[in-house]
Each structure stands twice: as structure tokens, then as C-alpha cells.
A and B are shown apart, each in its own frame.
Chain A
Amino acid sequence: MRVLELKINGDRVEVAAPDHWTLLEVLRYRLGLTGSKQGCDKGDCGACTVLVDGKPELSCLKLAALSEGAEITTIEGLLPLHLQAGGTGPDPVQDAFDRCGALQCGFCQPGMMLSARALLNECHSPSQAEIKKALSGNLCRCTGYTQIIEAVELAIAERVGAKNS
């Protein structure tokens, strides 16, 4: 057991966990942040995706003991971070997923939205090919990819529209 100092969704948290616990286990079972999903648990599905220093990584394959010092963002952090940055309501990616009905069972959604958020942070108006590539590490078992891609395109279109108007 070691006491870890983690930076999660803008907060500094101290949490005790054994060395063999993954970041996903600490998020879900120590901190109650159950938005990150435990899917395949071996790096295939992307349901456990979190942002580490702004880039998507898989928390099921990342040891909590090796996650100190990085800024970790989970799905629970998207709305507060958006508000902190001066926005209103949910993150535009979350809003677009909601309006496009970009979910069926919803299990892949947190990972999908975080991968999409990272893409939008990196690139102002990515193409559909770039969207597909950025989301290619996230599987949707309901195969609802069409609405998911539409949602990311909607978030991009509204951002581009807001800038141009």
C-alpha cells in the first residue's frame, strides 16, 4: 500500500492503494468516479479512456502508482472544467452527444467523449477521417458509430460557426 498524490479533474487527492492497482481501479473503487468504465480490462475496448495531460490513455492498463504528477481528466471532470473555462452548461461534446442521440447502451460513451474532447483540443476543425482515426481506439458494441461521428461533427460545426459569426 502506498499513499498516492493524484491530480484528478483539477483537484489534488491523496489516496492509498496497493501497487498492483490500476488507475481505473483507484478511480472507481477508491474515489467513486465510476464514469470510467471497466470493459474488457485489457486494452481492447477503450471504455476506460481518461485524459492524461490532455491526451487519451487507457486507465485499465495504467498503474495508479505510475500516475502521479499527471493531470488526469475523467468524464466527471468535463462539465466542471468547461464551467471553469467560462462556458455554460455541459461541455459542447457532451451536449452534442446528447442532442444526436449518440448512445445506445451508453457504456462506451465516456471514453468516446473524452477521445473526442482530446481531438477538439488539439485540432480546430478536424475532418471526418481525423475524427474516425481519433475514435478508432474506442469500441461501441451497439455499433452506434454513425451518431457518434455526427455528434463530434456537430460539436465542431458549432464551434466553427461560433467563431465565424
Chain B
Amino acid sequence: MLRLPKFEVEKPTTVDETVALLSEKTGDVMIIAGGTDLMPNMKHELFTPKKLVSLAGVSALFGIREEAGALVIGAMTPLDQVANHPLVAERAPALAQAAGLVAGPQLRRMGTLGGNVMLDTRCQWYNQTYFWRKSLGFCLKKDGSACHVIEGGSKCVAAASNDTAPALMSLDAKLTFANADGQRELLLDDLWKSDGIFNKKVPPSDLLTEIRLPQREVKHLGAYGKLRDRGSIDFPLFGVAVRIDIDANDVVVDAEAVSVALQARPTRIRKFGESLVGTTLGSPEFEKGVQAAASLGHKQCRPMPNVPGDHEYRHAMVPVYLKRTILAAAAGAGPVHAV
């Protein structure tokens, strides 16, 4: 039995009320969206805020809509709605697939897109009970001073484990945050910093209100691939989102891939598109380009023993999943996952 530490719950109904509550006592107040990650983390005493501000009653944060060509998703929209919404499937297939592979059915109904974007980093030495962590002498990320992933390491390498983040990054998503000073928009790429202790540049007192996918000028194909032990429930051991832009003749004009569950932030695979641009989908040149892109990913993506699963196995799976995900995107299929 895991009990929650004591706290009080606030239930605001507007963004303004929420922002005011969050600016009250920094450090002692936390946001609860779906609670599917926060609750276990609090049961493990990774967070012990005195007050939780629930977003469940803030109706402005829910829903999926089109706005001047952009697809706008409220931060509190449940993941199963994102996964099953026809607009998302049509405009952002990689996102629909990634949202559909987060955890299991119950958690996708409770968990939200905003919550998945703002997810805490994960590590096999961190996401454990207080007793377990204490027995080990704690770790860099919480209560201790040693890293158990990299011996002698002074920088936390807990892994970004949000399936939707790479999909959103592949589509150049922008986030809107609200705080007491007003609203601001931020490119998702600019949200991250390479620090496993807290991997975001925006303070936790800022409220993510919506996620905006800009209109794309060129037709694109997309898919998400997720490596995990079981076909459900688990966080990614490696995740990759692929976007392929094509012209009217199926010639690749641009391509992007973004990986997750390797290091503290989701990462773009550099020069991923080089071997694919100019080739025609399904042609021998394209197949060759896919091989080259998969090899490039294998060189750049280097798993560490931060999340469960053998890291050498995870590394060996990088080109396998990358190749399958590119081919799935090209075929208008996906997601790529076991079972």
C-alpha cells in the first residue's frame, strides 16, 4: 500500500484563478492535470507539495479545434481523445499514434496531452519508493549527491519519457503558457534543457494552456515508433517520431526524426533528411536513404542505463525502430510497436 503525503486540493475554474493560485507560494504548490504521473511520484515522496491546483474544472483548457489553419489542442485534452480524434489523425498522424501508445487505456483516459508534454524525467534509480531510494543512498535528482547511471557523474541524466513530445516536435509545435504577467508562446524545441533534474526552461509555476500545430505548407506523412517490454502500460525504452514531407510526385522534400527516452530532453536526429530528400517514396534510392538514415540514428542515439532495459539492447533497437518507423510513415501506416 502506498499512501499519499498530506496536501490540500484547490479547484479553480478559470485560467486567471489558476495562475493566481500558482503564484501564491512557489515550491509548495503544484499543478495536477490527469495525475497519472504525479500521483505515483507523490506516493514515492518525489514531490511533497502542500497544495495541489487541479485543472479538471478549467473548461478553457479542454478540446481540439482548428484556428486559422493551425490545429490547437487544449492542454487538458485527454490522451485517448488526442489518439482518436479525426482531425489529429488527418493533420498529425505521428501525434495520434504516439498518444495512442502512452501507457494503457485507463491512463490514456485520465492522462492529458499537456501533462505528457510537461512529464517529469524518469530514471530506474529515481522512480522508486522512498524506502528503496533511501536504501541506495538516494541520487542526484532527489535527496542525494551521487549518480547511479554514470559513476562519478555530476549531471543528472534521467530521461525525457514523454511519447507525445517527439511527435509534437517533428511537427514544430508551439506551446502557450500563462502566468501572472500574461501569456507567451514558445516553440517546443525551446522548452527543453539537458538537465534531468528539471528538463524545462519554463518554471513549474507557469501554466501550459494549449499546444498549437502550425499549418504545414507541404503534404506530410508521419509515424511514431515505441520500444517497450510489454505492448501496454510501459514508458518508452526508446521512442521516435518521423515526419516526411512530399511533393505531388511523392518526392521527399524534407524529413525529420525526433527521439525520446535516451537523455534528459527529446532530441532531433541531425541531418536526418539528407539521405532521403530528392528520393521518390518506394524507389530503390528511397530504400537506400532509409538505411542511411537508420545508420545515422544509430550513431547519434546512444541509450544510457537510465531507464529500465539493457542499454546495449536499446541501442541495437534504434536503427530497427527508426527504419520501421520511416517505412510506416511512407506507407501511411504505423504505429510501430511490439504486440
B residues near A19, Cβ cutoff 8 Å: 6-9, 52
Which residues of chain B from 45 to 89 have any CB-CB distance to chain A below 8 Å in the complex?
A: 52, 54, 56
Asked whether, in the complex, the Cβ of B105 is within 8 Å of the Cβ of A66, the reply is no
Contact A62 B7 (CB under 8 A): no
Nearest CB in chain A: distance from B145 CB, A: 26
Q: How far, in Å, is A60 (CB) from chain B's closest CB? A: 8
Known contacts A22-B4, A43-B39, A136-B232, A57 near B109 by CB under 8 Å: yes
A5 interface contact, C-beta 8 A = no
Question: In the complex the two chains form, is A136's CB within 8 Å of B105's CB?
Answer: yes
Give the size category of B's interface with A.
20 to 34
- Chain A interface: which size bin? 20 to 34
Which residue in A22, A38, A57, A66 is a CB contact (below 8 Å) of B106?
Answer: A57
Residues of A contacting B39 in the complex (Cβ-Cβ under 8 angstroms): 22, 42-43, 60-61, 63
Bound: A12/B315 CA distance, A: 54
- On whether A61 and B36 interact (CB within 8 A), knowing A56-B105, A137-B104, the answer reads yes
Q: Say whether B11 faces chain A, with CB atoms less than 8 Å apart.
A: yes
Question: B5 touches which one: A20, A44, A56, A139 (CB < 8 A)?
Answer: A20
Q: Dominant SS at the A interface?
A: loop
Asked whether A134 is an interface residue with its Cβ less than 8 Å from the other chain, the reply is yes
B12 on the A face (CB < 8 A): no
Contact A46 B106 (CB under 8 A): yes
Are A134 and B36 in contact, with the CB atoms below 8 A? no
Judged by a CB distance under 8 angstroms, whether A10 is at the interface is no
A55 at the interface (CB under 8 A from B): yes
Judge if B35 is at the interface, Cβ distance under 8 Å: yes
Q: Tell me whether A58 is interfacial, beta carbon within 8 Å.
A: yes
Q: For residues 14 through 68 of chain A, which have their beta carbon under 8 Å from a beta carbon of chain B?
A: 18-22, 38, 41-44, 46, 49, 55-58, 60-63, 65-66
Interchain Cβ contacts under 8 Å between A and B, 17 examples: A20-B4, A21-B4, A22-B4, A22-B39, A41-B1, A42-B43, A46-B106, A57-B106, A60-B39, A63-B32, A63-B54, A65-B9, A133-B105, A134-B105, A137-B103, A137-B105, A137-B233
**Interface status of A94 (Cβ within 8 A of chain B):** no
Proximity bits, A117-140, B CB within 8 Å = 1, else 0: 000000000000000011011110
Please state if B35 and A42 are interface contacts (CB–CB under 8 Å): no
Chain B residue at smallest Cβ distance from A2: B9
Complex partner residue of A44 from B1, B9, B233, CB under 8 angstroms = B233
